[in-house]
Amino acid sequence: MHSCKLLEWLMIIKLIVLDIKKFNNTSLIQNLLKCLKKLKNMAWNYTYDQLLKKAYSSIPKTSKETSRFEVPTISGGFEGNRTHVSNLKQIASKLGRDINHLMKFLLKDLATTGEWKGNNFYFVGKFNSRMLNEKVAKYVKEFVTCNQCEKPDTEIHKEKGITFKQCQACGARSSTRSLK
């Protein structure tokens, strides 16, 4: 029964190819015919269940996971008129982002400056942990989680001066602002 449906689709595609021939686009027609031959061979070599298993196995494991992602919390304190954060590197690692990218975001969003001393990062000014955690959550929403499936399995790529967030779970791609 399933191979009959596939044959119906093949016939529809053949009709489309015949319709495209009117426009004399030979390279497009040749590519469509190649795809048709592959599709026809596939129809006879696999059952519906085999095709379903093959398709399911090609889905990345990250999109199958259902565990809840928790935004890491900042730990640190005050030293005079400065705020130190002791786990910024661990947070960036857990988010799968470059530490410099996270730092640039925090410095811009807090409108301050900062520097590394040992394993601690020092912000000029007093910022309580609630405010810093809100900024990290804002960073996660803008630069880490996918806009479509809301999973944290994304990577940031830059192409021709435009920054994109590419989801490894669902394949969605969206532009995002670049940090300078």
Q: What is the pLDDT along the chain (180 residues), one digit of tens a residue?
A: 445 566 666 666 666 666 655 555 566 666 666 766 666 666 556 676 776 677 667 666 554 455 567 778 888 889 999 999 999 999 999 988 999 999 999 999 999 999 989 889 999 999 998 999 999 999 999 999 988 888 888 888 888 888 888 888 878 888 888 887
Side by side, the strands of the sheet bearing 154-159 are 154-159, 162-167, 173-176
Residue type, position 140, single letter? V
Q: What's the CATH fold of domain 76-176?
A: Defensin A-like (3.30.30)
Burial class of residue 74, CB neighbours in 10 A (0-12, 13-18, 19+): buried
How confident is the model at residue 63, as a pLDDT?
A: 47
Q: Where are the alpha helices (DSSP H) in 21-128?
A: 26-45, 48-57, 61-64, 88-95, 99-110
How confident is the model at residue 1, as a pLDDT?
A: 42
Half-sphere exposure of 94 (CA within 13 A, CB side): 13
The strand pairing partners of 165, in sequence order, are 156, 174
Q: Tell me the chain's radius of gyration from C-alpha atoms.
A: 25
Q: Give the Cα separation of 10 and 172 in Å (integer).
A: 29
**122: helix, strand or coil:** strand
| Phi, psi dihedral angles at 16 (to 5 degrees) | -65, -40
Q: Are 121 and 84 in contact (CB under 8 A)?
A: yes
- Domain locations along the chain: 2-58, 76-176
Question: Residues 91-117, buried b or exposed e (16+ Cβ, 10 A)?
Answer: bbeebebebebbbebbbebbeeebeee
* Confidence (pTM): 0.62
How confident is the model at residue 25, as a pLDDT?
A: 55
